[in-house]
Every structure is written in C-alpha cells, then in structure tokens.
Structure 1
C-alpha cells in the first residue's frame, strides 16, 4: 500500500495544521510521486479552507494504515 501523506493547514489560521493521508493499493511509489500534484490539487479544491504545506509518498503495510 502506498500512502500520500500531507500536511494541511487552515488558510485563516496557518498554525492550525493536520496530517492527512490518501491511500492507494494499486500504484508504485514512483507513480505516487508523479501523480501527487494533481491528487493534492483535487483534495485542495474539495477543501478550500485548507492549504497544503508539505507532502510525501511512502510504502505502508496494511496494518499501519489505522495505527
């Protein structure tokens, strides 16, 4: 499983940040890196009060998803 992990901060309160993740089971880490920008843009469009400040792709075990 691949995790696209990112930090999203409220635009009105830049110190109010949360770690968020999108999970994929059918892509490679390189595919995640190459496709992250459009996926994050979609997420940002759906959550206009937030601004994404940092992101990364990493392999995760299924058991780590809800940890």
Structure 2
C-alpha cells in the first residue's frame, strides 16, 4: 500500500506538492493501511518539520489515482 500525501511548506502555505510513502507491507484491505497510517505519518512529519501534511489517503500499488 501507499500513503498519498498533499504537503505544503510551513513557511509558505501556498507552496504545495504531492508525495507518497511506501508502506512496509502489501495489504489488500485498505483498513490495514488506515490503521497504520497515523504512526507512519507522525514519523514522516517528525523527519520533515518544514512540511505540513494537508491531506492524505491510502492507495494500492499499481492503481495510483490522478488526484489526491
């Protein structure tokens, strides 16, 4: 599974981009991704303090949506 992120710079909130986090497992059930997403997002946020996660969602690998 992937976590798709919409992230914006803290210092310049109008500067946004999309990013993705590869989850360390491949689950078919999106609820498994949702269950692990909060801790993964917290870790990512601690490693990237200059960015703010505006939105996120889970997606299966190989079926990436065109928008978040």
TM-score (norm. length: structure 2): 0.79
RMSD between superposed Cα atoms in Å: 1.7
- Match runs of 1:18-57 below 5 Å: 18-24=17-23, 25-27=25-27, 28-57=29-58
Q: What residue number does 1:17 align with?
A: 16
Q: What secondary structure, in the 3-state scheme, does the structure 1 residue paired with 2:35 have?
A: helix
Shift >3 Å, 4+ stretches: none
Q: Which runs of 5+ in 2 are unaligned?
A: none
Question: Closer, same or farther in 2 for the Cα pair 1:30/1:37, shift >3 Å?
Answer: same
Distance 1:42 1:30 in 2: 19
Task: For 2:22 and 2:40, locate their aligned partners in 1 and report how far apart those are by CA, in whole Å.
Answer: 11
Name the structure with the higher helix share. Answer: 1
Higher strand content, 1 or 2: 1
Normalising by structure 1, we get a TM-score of 0.80
- Distance (Å, rounded) in 2 between the aligned partners of 1:22 and 1:29: 15
